[in-house]
Chains A and B, each alone.
Chain A
Amino acid sequence: MSELLGFGVLQLKRLITAKKISAKEVFNYFLERIKKYDRQINGYVTVCNNNDGKLPIAVKDNFCTNGIRTTASSKVLDNFVPNYNAEVVDRLLTNGFSIIGKTNMDAWAHGSSTETSDYGATKNPWNLSHIPGGSSGGSAAVVSSYLAPAAIGSETAGSIRQPAGWCGVIGFKPTYGRVSRFGLIAMASSFDCPGPITLNTEDSAYLLSILAGKDNKDATTIDKPAEDYLSKLSDREPLTIGIPEEYFNEVQKETIDGFEKTKQVFKKLGYKFKKIKLISPEYAISVYTIIQRAEVASNLARFDGIRFGNNKSYFGFEAKKRIMLGNFVLSAGYYSAFYQQAQKLRDKIKADFVKVFHDVDLILAPVVPTTALKLGEFEKYPFFGELIDKFNEPAAIAGLPAVSFPTGLDKNNLPTSLQLIGNYLQELKLLQTLYAFEQETKFFNVIKSGFKKWK
């Protein structure tokens, strides 16, 4: 059934409604593909064979799934089977989806490579000796190689956008608080955002409309219902896009090429451009690292092996490192110089964006300085993830929504990407802009070439 190859969620739904195929057959189709290809890619930690006649979707293994093993890719939770669903999972199930598998990630979401997983690294489907990025590397890889029609990932600072960028698919990070974090194994509580990784914009819009909204189990969710993203997708107003030139300074040449191409398309579509000045992303690295580590150290305190899971001796080196640094920045004598200072600066970074959004509607920026790195390369950096995610940290710190999308391929046939950042709760504007771009360019056929590799 290779005619199904590349069909997104809504496209499959239309086929099913038109009775051209059944959901059960679709589910089986993906199971077969997983059986055939996942050994090479290692995108899944757990595959769910229970085909109950619903549309399959992949979910990152840090979302608790009732009755399905949930590990956060760490041996601490090797045998943990939750008896409750994450809110995100509940909403997917209520809307006719079935979980086909739990995707691989950096253990505890600590990383940008998916190499720190206790279940082996995930390979980039574009080139198996390269990494897919992380921490939602498994989710991005399975979508890119069409081992699932879409996947849910989570982002703390870049964990959706970066792997989506490196795997040549679409990664959407909503406004912080737009989607419930209940049941998402917490990494950094004030940053974590669940979000969809998809092959096209309408799927992003559709999944977001299901997932967004207030949850009376998550006190940080925004008290506004989800907008009708899907039906308004092709509506468009002339918008101004801001370009933070400083961001494009130390970036791979092909990313700049992709940027030039993209700019031309937006110009053609009637968008205006404006140069903007944002605080250097270098500052965001320190602010983010400090606050994140503190929250990580706190959130991992509950894993004592009494009520669930294995004890702390099962933590990997990266987790231990982050816990210790987190406790350091919170400890007496250092708390005000590090944690409190970082929080003060966080408010300033928010203010910087608020100021800029008076003049522009969206911001166009790179996602990563390079295309996908090779396996093992990150060992060189003591805090690799934070450096490679410097373009993603500012929006994460501010809690703004953003989406990364493919813009082309580099000389090694690895995807280049860019991102659009929006103001608070401007998911619709982002989706509309992306949709227009997609209609015009089909993302330069990057997404298609991606899953075609895995015919």
Chain B
Amino acid sequence: MDPKAKSKKVKIDVDYLAQLSKLKLSDKEKQRLEKHLTSTLDFVANIQSFNFKDLDSVNIELVSNCMFKDGQVNPLNFDKKKLFKNARSFINNYFEVDRIL
């Protein structure tokens, strides 16, 4: 199976993706991004033609027991007072953002 086999073309909607990603992009950026994204996508789209039929999927599970008992003390050491120092705007115990309508 040729890993570089091309499958059907996929169209990128840069404006929609920018909206989903909440990124504000200039027109120049949009053009550049479309070019880069399309070429990356062209390459990875070949994934649709892989199947490796002769290999059974294997599920490696090394983790067991990953829940905490209710009411436990927080194992994370952190300075509660410094928790808000990185905030853009923290007034009267609230984080402030521009008004959401």
Interface residues of A (CB under 8 A from B): 66, 79-81, 83-85, 90, 175, 177, 182, 216-217, 219-224, 279-280, 282-283, 285-287, 289-290, 297, 304-309, 312-313, 315, 317, 320-321, 323-325, 327-328, 331, 334, 337-338, 341-342, 344-345, 347-348, 350-352, 354-355, 382-383, 398-399, 424-425
Contact of A308 among B45, B63, B87 (CB under 8 A): B87
In the bound assembly, the distance between CA atoms of A308 and B86 in angstroms comes to 5
Contact of B75 among A216, A223, A283, A312 (CB under 8 A): A216
Give the chain A neighbours of B64 by CB distance below 8 A.
223
B95 and A399 within 8 A (CB): no
7 contacts between A and B (CB under 8 A): A306-B87, A317-B29, A327-B20, A327-B21, A341-B47, A351-B55, A355-B55
User: Which residues, 50 to 101 on B, are CB-close (under 8 Å) to A?
Assistant: 50, 52, 55-60, 62-68, 75-79, 82-88, 95, 97
Contact of B86 among A80, A90, A382 (CB under 8 A): A80
In the bound assembly, the distance between CA atoms of A344 and B55 in angstroms comes to 11
B39 and A221 within 8 A (CB): no
Contact of B47 among A175, A280, A286 (CB under 8 A): A286
Q: List 5 other contacts, CB 8 Å, given A223-B65, A320-B33, A382-B36.
A: A220-B63, A306-B97, A324-B17, A327-B21, A338-B47
- Distance in Å from the Cβ of A286 to the closest Cβ of chain B? 4
Residue of B nearest to A331 (CB): B20
Task: Please name the 7 residue pairs, one residue from A and one from B, whose CB atoms are nearest each other, closest first.
Answer: A308-B86, A347-B57, A282-B3, A83-B82, A219-B66, A351-B58, A84-B78
In the bound assembly, the distance between CA atoms of A308 and B82 in angstroms comes to 12
Task: Knowing A306-B97, A324-B18 are in contact, say whether A286-B56 is a contact too (CB < 8 A).
Answer: no
Give the chain B neighbours of A309 by CB distance below 8 A.
86
In the bound assembly, the distance between CA atoms of A425 and B12 in angstroms comes to 41
Of listed B22, B33, B60, residue having the most chain A CB within 10 A: B60
Residue of B nearest to A309 (CB): B86
A348 and B63 within 8 A (CB): no
B78 and A351 within 8 A (CB): no
- Distance in Å from the Cβ of A326 to the closest Cβ of chain B? 8
In the bound assembly, the distance between CA atoms of A382 and B39 in angstroms comes to 7
A347 and B43 within 8 A (CB): no
Give the chain B neighbours of A317 by CB distance below 8 A.
29, 32-33
A325 and B88 within 8 A (CB): no
The SS class assigned to the B binding surface is loop
Task: Knowing A220-B63, A306-B88, A328-B37 are in contact, say whether A383-B23 is a contact too (CB < 8 A).
Answer: no
In the bound assembly, the distance between CA atoms of A220 and B57 in angstroms comes to 21
Residue of B nearest to A400 (CB): B60
Give the chain A neighbours of B85 by CB distance below 8 A.
81, 83
B55 and A324 within 8 A (CB): no
User: Which residues, 26 to 49 on B, are CB-close (under 8 Å) to A?
Assistant: 29, 32-33, 36-37, 39-41, 43-48
Residue of B nearest to A345 (CB): B50
- Distance in Å from the Cβ of B69 to the closest Cβ of chain A? 10
* B4 close to chain A: CB less than 8 A: yes
Contact of A312 among B22, B59, B60, B66 (CB under 8 A): B22
B87 and A307 within 8 A (CB): yes
A286 and B75 within 8 A (CB): no
B33 and A324 within 8 A (CB): yes
A324 and B23 within 8 A (CB): yes
* B24 close to chain A: CB less than 8 A: yes
Give the chain B neighbours of A327 by CB distance below 8 A.
17, 20-21
Give the chain A neighbours of B10 by CB distance below 8 A.
334
B40 and A223 within 8 A (CB): no
A79 and B86 within 8 A (CB): yes
B58 and A347 within 8 A (CB): yes
Contact of A325 among B41, B46, B47, B82 (CB under 8 A): B41
In the bound assembly, the distance between CA atoms of A83 and B79 in angstroms comes to 6
- Distance in Å from the Cβ of A181 to the closest Cβ of chain B? 13
Contact of A347 among B24, B46, B59, B79 (CB under 8 A): B59
Give the chain A neighbours of B95 by CB distance below 8 A.
306-307
Give the chain B neighbours of A354 by CB distance below 8 A.
58, 60
B17 and A328 within 8 A (CB): yes
